[in-house]
Structure 1
Amino acid sequence: MKEAFGNLAGLKSSQILSLERLYRRRIPPVEFCSHDLAARLVELSGDLRRQIGILVNRAGSVEYVIVGDEKGLVIPELRDYPLGKRAMRGLRLIHTHLKNEAVSEDDLTDLSLLRLDLLAALLYTPGKNQIYAQLAWLSPDQRGTGTTLDPVAPLEQIDLDCIHFIPELEADLEKAALTVSKTRDALERAILISVTTSGTRQEAEDSMAELRELARTAQVEALDEFIQRPKNLNPRFLMGEGMMRDVVIRAMQRGASMLIFDQELTPAQIRSISAMTELKVIDRSQLILDIFARRAKTLDGKVQVELAQLKYLLPRLTGRGVQMSRLMGGIGGRGPGETKLETDRRRIRDRIASLERELKELSQGRDQRRKQRVKAGVPIISIVGYTNAGKSTLLNTLTRSEVFTEDLLFATLDTSTRRLRFPREREVIITDTVGFIRSLPKSLLGAFKATLEEMRDADLLLHVVDATHPRFEDQIVQVRTILTELELGDKPELLVYNKSDLLNEMRKKDTVAFLRVRQSARTQNSVTVSARDRKSLAPLIDELQRRFWPETEEPVLK
């Protein structure tokens, strides 16, 4: 016989046996609960002074018997009834309320989080033969999913044909979810979450705006955003557990398929949040890795990304079954592939070792090519800067090449190298590199290996800045901070303020912002260009010639 779940402490063997006998009961599939079973639940609940609940499948069989306390009960993990892509779980909860109270907020939370077919509260009233009940169920609305609450009524007056009602409701929910998903071309839909105790509110909002752009780049539709700045971070959920439940309910209501955190989550935090919801849970690092996997085109880039992904995922592969499946696949699981990620930890470590050997061989090939360039005495320039600042566009315009560009973060991942010719048979090697981003975790730096090698050999760093970005000064600082962390802070640098073609419009709309840009450009000893307009690059070309070829015959870098 199946065992009862929950709060069994202090119960006699005979009482536990009475609870387990509930598994023998069957409800006619057309009814939500038979009168005899409801009466037995109320009787047992009154005797034990504890809430009692049963989870019943659509065939009318009792799948779980749950015992709580006077105030509520905790539903166990429903491993035998995974939600998957279905709109509803296939189980309905029938439980008692000892204080004659109606359906509670906790009840509605369970209904939404677990996607139950139906929820029924049986109201216990001592000394009365009549049983009252209240029903609640999920209902489609314009945002995705809401809840409907029936009024309290005598049990015999509730006329609900479950055989027809539940499948029709499920079809309506699936239709509503499909309607919401078609609002844009995004493959997945997410709620964005930021929980931080450091920095200002403005900094948190700026970071959230960047997370929104990362989501857009990964083709994820951001349905809603939550920013919380508590005094202390919750070690299990970052935010408080109650707030986390509210966010999950909101995500279910909006038809989201995942939660994306702006902060890097520990393996324990991912497990705790995943235990609360079947939504996919990823963090900023995993989202960036997904974008890297999308952008990597060369063998070198693909190997780097797969290696970085496996190193990131290895400590997080402690869950099993549903939890593990939610960590892989789709957004956050692109690149290595589901078959690799479902192997055991030893095989993943073997794969990491194999990729590291392959990457070492590729690195040796790059090293040989760089030595040949150095031997030829050709100066080397690396274009660096914040992501989406216009680096690839500048390379294309300077060299008349066709490196992939797009108004997305990390549009460039693979390193691109071109020759830039000057008068009098002079030339330089110019390399486009992957863009940087704030709070880049050190665990992701492995995906920048080729970029870092190119920058270490560079004679000059062209630091491209999006002059129209409202936080361009912060982006300059972020890039320089990362360069310092990579021991590249002493490299000669030339700041290139990009998008000069938009500055006149900025001056009309926001004079203060325009003056900030102009003052910064003057004090930084920089050049201002429009990467799309070759004619505007003349000051940059002149400055490069001055730096590499002053009046002496041999190329010398100042």
Structure 2
Amino acid sequence: MVKRILETEDSGLTRAWVIHPDIKDVKARRLASFALSEAVSLAEALPGLEVAGSEIVPLPKVRAGTLFGTGKIVELKNRLKEAEVELVLIDGPVTPVQQRNLEKEWGVKILDRTGLILEIFSDRAATREGVLQVELAALSYQRTRLVRAWTHLERQRGGLGFVGGPGETQIEADRRAIDDAIVRIRRQLEKTVKTRELHRAARAKVPYPVVALVGYTNAGKSTLFNRLTGAEVLVKDMLFATLDPTMRSVELSDGLEIIMSDTVGFISDLPTQLVAAFRATLEEVLSADLILHVRDISHPESEGQARDVRSIMADLGVDKDVPVLEVWNKSDRLSPDALEAATNKADRDEHIFLTSATTGAGIDGLLDAVSTLLRAGSTTEVIELGFADGKARAWLFGQEVVDSEEQTETGFNLTVTWSPAQKGQFEKL
């Protein structure tokens, strides 16, 4: 879908250049190098692109009209021309005016960080709701950039007239067209929300605890999910390999059944449009009984990524009372000294588990802790049921919570051990 727009006749790929504007001082340049590396990974996650080069551009002062200063613009123009670059990806916010002026100066297409992530999400969305959420976010973003010459919305919707240099009347017409499209998509989303509520209600009838995997993008969540569930979720060493959440039932070694949910990876500076748009997609995190925060412990910025994840979870409104276990994944990539240090820290903290989803190391200990936490609130009670309560009796046996049963003159006495969620559901029957 994106590839057709980005293809060239010669190589089939669009040559791209990644720029990270660094407004920090020299002492923070190390952090800027990690940011540039992540931006390059984002670019590589978009089909049809070939990253011809990348660089950090110090930015002492942000120019309102062009972002960079005149001298830097000329310097970059020569470098881009020499590398035969067709697309420049700027790792940060770029205003519509800055974008238009830079495209004119350099003779290339410009995408800022938000636009790039929207393009990736557009390419990856698989479910009906995911596609609609991406379109809604992209339309909101696009509404301020009506003079852009290209966008994935043209490909999806047959074009909304986003041609370079429209007059004021055309801009207003395009804005009305976008507003109409937003209304239409929101109506469609209302229908998908109702469908999702039906599915959630169906799951509630078999109220297994929900365990949600969350983490920074490319932390290894999908690899861990596949090892735990046997599912065939797309696993690639690229950002946003998983967009739509996947749910699978898993039976733990002690017989406890859970629903495990793999979710889209978080990322720093996630576009605000997407945080709002994907709140519904991340609903399984909001309703989770337990959260597994998967971290790439081998990444140099693992702690910073963890802070970003915690911040986004707080923005999403995740209940602070929901227990969280930190899964320090990719331990197989650590040096011997780093592995020893991480092992010692995990041994001292009962909420940290050092694992490798690739080799399976540490997985058994993690699952034992999951079972222990989920069973912590279980209680044992005796329930009296009449002969006419066959449906309730069948439900209890279906939940595998019955420890023993005794028949009486009026019905059955059942000894059950169940979780608060199971008890609450039973009371609703």
Question: Is 1:493 matched up with 2:324?
Answer: yes
TM-superposed CA distance for 1:447, in Å, is 4.2
TM-superposed CA distance for 1:530, in Å, is 1.7
Change (3 A) 1:247 1:522: farther
The within-5 A match list for 1:28-427 is 182=11, 187-198=13-24, 200-219=28-47, 220-317=49-146, 319=147, 324-325=148-149, 327-328=150-151, 336-337=156-157, 339-340=159-160, 342=162, 344-423=174-253, 425-427=255-257
Alpha-carbon contact 1:381-1:430 (below 8 Å) kept: yes
- Tell me the SS of whatever aligns to 1:316: coil
Q: Distance in 2 between matches of 1:485 and 1:383?
A: 17
Alpha-carbon contact 1:305-1:447 (below 8 Å) kept: yes
Q: Distance in 2 between matches of 1:485 and 1:519?
A: 32
Change (3 A) 1:354 1:215: same
TM-superposed CA distance for 1:420, in Å, is 0.9
Deviations 1:391-449 (A, max 9, x none): 11111111111111111110000110111113565311111100001111212224423
- Tell me the SS of whatever aligns to 2:313: helix
Alpha-carbon contact 2:290-2:374 (below 8 Å) kept: no
Alpha-carbon contact 2:17-2:51 (below 8 Å) kept: yes
Alpha-carbon contact 1:385-1:479 (below 8 Å) kept: yes
Q: What TM-score, normalized to structure 1?
A: 0.61
TM-superposed CA distance for 1:311, in Å, is 1.2
Alpha-carbon contact 2:129-2:192 (below 8 Å) kept: yes
Q: Distance in 2 between matches of 1:422 and 1:366?
A: 26
Q: Distance in 1 between matches of 2:286 and 2:22?
A: 34
Of 212-221 and 481-490, more deviation after overlay is shown by 481-490
Of 225-234 and 303-312, more deviation after overlay is shown by 225-234
Change (3 A) 1:464 1:294: same
Alpha-carbon contact 1:190-1:251 (below 8 Å) kept: no
Alpha-carbon contact 2:290-2:324 (below 8 Å) kept: yes
Q: What TM-score, normalized to structure 2?
A: 0.78
TM-superposed CA distance for 1:314, in Å, is 1.0
Equivalent in the alignment of 2:333 = 502
Alpha-carbon contact 2:208-2:259 (below 8 Å) kept: yes
Change (3 A) 1:521 1:340: farther
Change (3 A) 1:425 1:523: closer
Q: How many residue pairs end up in the alignment?
A: 362
Equivalent in the alignment of 1:147 = none
- Tell me the SS of whatever aligns to 1:480: helix
Deviations 1:34-68 (A, max 9, x none): xxxxxxxxxxxxxxxxxxxxxxxxxxxxxxxxxxx
Change (3 A) 1:244 1:416: same
TM-superposed CA distance for 1:534, in Å, is 4.6
Gaps of 5+ in 1: 1-84, 86-176
Q: Distance in 2 between matches of 1:476 and 1:486?
A: 15
- Tell me the SS of whatever aligns to 2:78: helix
Deviations 1:535-556 (A, max 9, x none): 6411111001100114743236
Deviations 1:161-187 (A, max 9, x none): xxxxxxxxxxxxxxxx98xx75xxx72
TM-superposed CA distance for 1:192, in Å, is 1.2
Look up the equivalent residue of 2:314 and give its one-letter code: T
Q: Distance in 1 between matches of 2:362 and 2:341?
A: 21
Alpha-carbon contact 2:217-2:240 (below 8 Å) kept: yes
Fraction of identical pairs, as percent: 35
Gaps of 5+ in 2: 163-172, 380-416, 422-429
TM-superposed CA distance for 1:334, in Å, is 7.5
Equivalent in the alignment of 1:468 = 298
Q: Distance in 2 between matches of 1:359 and 1:413?
A: 17
TM-superposed CA distance for 1:353, in Å, is 0.9
Change (3 A) 1:272 1:535: closer
Look up the equivalent residue of 1:486 and give its one-letter code: L
Alpha-carbon contact 2:353-2:362 (below 8 Å) kept: no
Q: Distance in 2 between matches of 1:334 and 1:541?
A: 46
- Tell me the SS of whatever aligns to 2:88: strand
Q: Distance in 1 between matches of 2:154 and 2:296?
A: 30
TM-superposed CA distance for 1:275, in Å, is 2.5
Bigger relative contact order (CA 8 A; separation at least 6): 2
TM-superposed CA distance for 1:207, in Å, is 0.7
Q: Distance in 2 between matches of 1:489 and 1:264?
A: 31
Equivalent in the alignment of 2:355 = 529
Equivalent in the alignment of 1:541 = 367
Alpha-carbon contact 2:130-2:281 (below 8 Å) kept: no
Change (3 A) 1:464 1:379: same
Q: Which has the larger radius of gyration?
A: 1
TM-superposed CA distance for 1:281, in Å, is 0.7
Alpha-carbon contact 2:214-2:265 (below 8 Å) kept: yes
Alpha-carbon contact 2:89-2:110 (below 8 Å) kept: yes
Alpha-carbon contact 2:52-2:83 (below 8 Å) kept: yes
Deviations 1:333-354 (A, max 9, x none): 6763552353722111111111
Change (3 A) 1:516 1:246: farther
Of 223-232 and 247-256, more deviation after overlay is shown by 223-232
Equivalent in the alignment of 2:404 = none
Q: Distance in 2 between matches of 1:392 and 1:334?
A: 31
Change (3 A) 1:239 1:422: same
Alpha-carbon contact 1:305-1:335 (below 8 Å) kept: no
